[in-house]
Structure 1
């Protein structure tokens, strides 16, 4: 499904996938896990996608698994022009590495809990940059076995 990037689209896609899975006889607990993860992935695209007025949701059965991808509808990237490398100034300050405490703090912050929920309720969660487009793809899978 290709959907407008607005808050009303997330419930629509969740209900559509849930009805399809119910029709295939998938247990309600598993459907609820998929629906929760899908809702979080859609909310992330709706809230954070910088480009594009639409996003795409793909769902398929892969054996005994449901595979879902939520794709940010970012704009196509133009090939970058050749850029001459700049000389590094000796006084340039290099960024400090992120510490484990900073990572933990970000993980426990109010924003970012969607990723925790998706990890808890699905398997094979991956987030990848799109090739030749701005944006990202959220990929998750869920076993359909009870």
Structure 2
């Protein structure tokens, strides 16, 4: 986890991961504490999906869940004006698809950004592979 680089920026990563256990997931996280965070991920949640979740005050809310084919996907978050806009595409595509918008889970100067993987099966481990991570500031 690292502090956010400013008030306006974008972050992208390719996630190569095919979850097999319900709620197994891997993706990007903007984190204040265990009760206030935003997750944008590949997840097995009623099928293979791309999911944006905001937890605020220990109350999680699915902002958007979209079925998504197996295989790698590219995630992008754009942060500005206290809001987060999420976009998704396959690594081969050139156009991003909007995947929802919500508020940040706290003040920018208190938040951290990271990658995460969780919910796997200790008896049948699977690996999430993160590649092509990039972050750019909007000046």
- Give the TM-score taking structure 1 as reference length: 0.36
Higher percent of residues as helix: 1
Larger radius of gyration: 1
Q: Which has the higher relative contact order, 1 or 2, with Cα contacts under 8 A spaced 6 or more apart?
A: 2
